[in-house]
Amino acid sequence: MASDEALTDKTGAPVEVTRRKDDFAIAVDGKTVGLTAFADRDGQRVFFHTEVDDAYGGRGLGTVVISAALAATRDEGLRIVAICPMVAAFVGKHPEYADVVDKTTRETLALARERMAAR
């Protein structure tokens, strides 16, 4: 994702976040090491899973990819449904997203289960 500000992890290493078909991936030195997965539905982006390679844990990469994904989602005019616990924790700590977060529903949970099973 292009921006004027270079993204870095907690160690200061440069990272790159890329939007793909159904997730946002984060790379360190060109290697994809994590992602936050989503499904779009009726003007909502349902975030249902986030992962970071254990070898890269503790560097704040989950936070970086989630932050970039939520900013892009807001920019696209979509609402956020945070089923993934990491995404839910992030939006809970960042009230600037409160106006674009929708509650989880049976329908969004069913969608998340379906997409998780397909991964």
Q: What percent of the chain is modeled with pLDDT above 70?
A: 96
User: Which token pair is 8?
Assistant: 């870095």
Question: Is residue 114, in this structure, part of any structural domain at all?
Answer: yes
* Amino acid 5: pLDDT: 62
At 93-112, the pLDDT tens digits run 999 999 999 999 999 999 99
Categorize the per-residue pLDDT at 113 as very low, low, confident or very high, splitting at 50, 70 and 90. very high
* Amino acid 119: pLDDT: 83
At 81-97, the pLDDT tens digits run 999 999 999 999 999 99
3 pLDDT more than 50: no
The H-assigned helical ranges of the chain are: 61-75, 85-93, 106-118
Angle between helices 61-75 and 85-93 (to 10 degrees): 70
**What value does the mean pLDDT of the chain take?**
94
Question: Is residue 2, in this structure, part of any structural domain at all?
Answer: no
Question: Is residue 1, in this structure, part of any structural domain at all?
Answer: no
Boundaries of domain holding 22: 7-118
78 pLDDT more than 70: yes
| CATH assignment at residue 53 | 3.40.630.30
Task: Please tell me the total count of domains within the chain.
Answer: 1
* Residue 21 Cα to chain centre, angstroms: 13
Three-class SS state of 90: helix
pTM for this entry: 0.92
Question: Is residue 56, in this structure, part of any structural domain at all?
Answer: yes
